[in-house]
Amino acid sequence: MNKLSRILLDLLFISVIGIFVLFFSLFVLMQPLVVTGNSMLPNFHDSEQILIEKVSLKYREIKRGDVVIVKHPENHNVLLLKRVVGLPGETFEISNGRVFINGEGLDEPYLFEQNVTLGKESIPDDETLLIPNDGYVVLGDNRDDSLDSRNWGPLKKNLIVGRNLLVYAPITNFRLAH
């Protein structure tokens, strides 16, 4: 085999491996998604493109404040972008337009300044909820326009798909997760 043929064969081999690694990363370890709707305003906007990572869920605990992608509990084909607010074993309450965790008011600097959190059918106002050991309370940042745990109750951990890693489009909105 001449030298040029050997170089071309090596390049083809490297390209095939590179494409495999790229597809594995994008569809197994990470996943691109498009934000739809206004439930996460002011932090995430309709039509922004985000990249989520799926691996850390197995190695790192989910924390309050994490922005996660979850399967809708009634239709697992629908993915939603939400913020983790309540953790397993905590008490959760909505009262006077605010969220309380274990009786303490939650500081939520990611919300609109004029935001008021109201209860809904599954988590009504002024009722204390004990979050189950395999459950999380997830809420949208734009509480007036969000389908979230207030509608369906605590979300089971197995319905959390991944964490937001970054916003990559439009490029003017590029930023890492916060």
Contact partners, residue 133, CB within 8 Å, separation at least 6: 88, 89
The chain-wide mean pLDDT, for the chain, equals 92
Query: Are residues 167 and 91 located together in one domain of the fold?
Result: yes
Residue 71 appears among annotated catalytic residues: no
pLDDT of residue 3: 83
Residue pLDDT, tens place only, 106-161: 999 999 988 899 999 999 999 999 999 999 999 999 999 999 999 999 999 999 99
Please, is 23 exposed, middle or buried when counting C-beta atoms within 10 Å of its C-beta (0-12, 13-18, 19+)? exposed
- Kindly report the number of other CB atoms within 10 A of residue 151's CB atom: 14
Examine the pLDDT at 29 and tell me if it is beyond 80.
no
Query: Are residues 59 and 110 located together in one domain of the fold?
Result: yes
Examine the pLDDT at 25 and tell me if it is beyond 70.
no
Query: Are residues 23 and 65 located together in one domain of the fold?
Result: no
pLDDT of residue 19: 81
Per-residue pLDDT, averaged over 80-108, amounts to 97
Q: Which of 71, 82, 120, 156 is catalytic?
A: 82
Give me the count of residues in the chain. 178
Query: Are residues 14 and 74 located together in one domain of the fold?
Result: no
Query: Are residues 25 and 71 located together in one domain of the fold?
Result: no
Q: How many domains in the chain?
A: 2
Q: How many angstroms separate the CA atoms of 102 and 95, rounded?
A: 13
Residue pLDDT, tens place only, 3-21: 888 888 888 888 888 887 7
Query: Are residues 10 and 63 located together in one domain of the fold?
Result: no
Q: How many angstroms separate the CA atoms of 48 and 95, rounded?
A: 32
Residue 82 appears among annotated catalytic residues: yes
Query: Are residues 84 and 17 located together in one domain of the fold?
Result: no
What CA dihedral angle connects 46, 48, 51 and 53, to 10 degrees?
-30
Query: Are residues 9 and 47 located together in one domain of the fold?
Result: no
Query: Are residues 94 and 165 located together in one domain of the fold?
Result: yes
Give the lowest-confidence range in 13-17, 85-89, 148-152, 168-172.
13-17
- The boundaries of the domain holding residue 11 are 1-30
Looking at residue 88, its amino acid is P
Give the lowest-confidence range in 12-16, 63-67, 169-173.
12-16
Q: How many angstroms separate the CA atoms of 8 and 106, rounded?
A: 60
Q: Which of 5, 15, 39, 149 is catalytic?
A: 39
Query: Are residues 67 and 93 located together in one domain of the fold?
Result: yes
The pTM of this model reads 0.85
- DSSP three-state, residue 78: strand
Query: Are residues 69 and 24 located together in one domain of the fold?
Result: no
Query: Are residues 47 and 99 located together in one domain of the fold?
Result: yes
What CATH number is associated with residue 145? 2.10.109.10
